[in-house]
Structure 1
């Protein structure tokens, strides 16, 4: 049994498992993409964000 037939039989054969796989993969992709974008934004703007300069203005 090849990998392709195993994937087909477990995910793509039934509509319910295919829909669940789509929803789960979209959720995890969104979380990963959001984390990556936030990390890139914070690295580009390091030293300019409120969390970096808060001690200068806090009383």
Structure 2
């Protein structure tokens, strides 16, 4: 989650990870981050499956 870009009148941006591990860098850089800044959005990144090193107990 990233609330740095959030404004009280902002939206919530939800990204569902695809066919690979979710990358936390997506919350702080790139087009998605720029859109969130522009719209004052709260950003949430979900990984809907467990890939590679990620496990549900971490």
If the TM-score is normalised by the length of the shorter chain, which range does it land in?
A: under 0.3
- What TM-score, normalized by structure 2, do the two folds share? 0.24
More helix by share: 1
Q: Which has the larger radius of gyration?
A: 1
More strand by share: 2
- What TM-score, normalized by structure 1, do the two folds share? 0.24
